[in-house]
Amino acid sequence: MMNMTFSQLQEITERREQVSIGKSFFSKSALLPDEVVVRYASTFPYIFGDSPQLIRRNSLELMGILEQYIQRILVATLLLEQSGKMKQ
């Protein structure tokens, strides 16, 4: 870490903060009813980046989210994606 530039350190720090916020958000979301999870699923891309591909099973598993909730989150995200495309 001694040879890192300031921008690299800043990037790592920002990523850690995003993961921390994301973990808290996902943990809370996983305990909520389906309709609430669906409503907030649209914010997932903003936690992990612009690409929905970044929101994937491995990310959720690393956060310690249980399988039953991972399925709900992924389905909600997919439905929102499809809904957005259909409206366009």
pLDDT in tens, 9-68: 667 666 666 655 555 555 555 555 556 555 656 565 555 555 544 456 666 777 777 777
Q: CA-CA distance, 57 to 1, in Å (whole number)?
A: 29
Q: CA-CA distance, 25 to 30, in Å (whole number)?
A: 9
Long-range own/partner contacts, residues 52-59 (CB < 8 A, 24 or more apart): 52/77, 52/81
Q: CA-CA distance, 40 to 46, in Å (whole number)?
A: 11
Within a domain: 71:
yes
Q: CA-CA distance, 3 to 60, in Å (whole number)?
A: 31
Within a domain: 50:
yes
pTM above 0.85, yes or no: no
Question: What domain range is 38 assigned to?
Answer: 6-87
Number of domains in the chain: 1
Within a domain: 1:
no
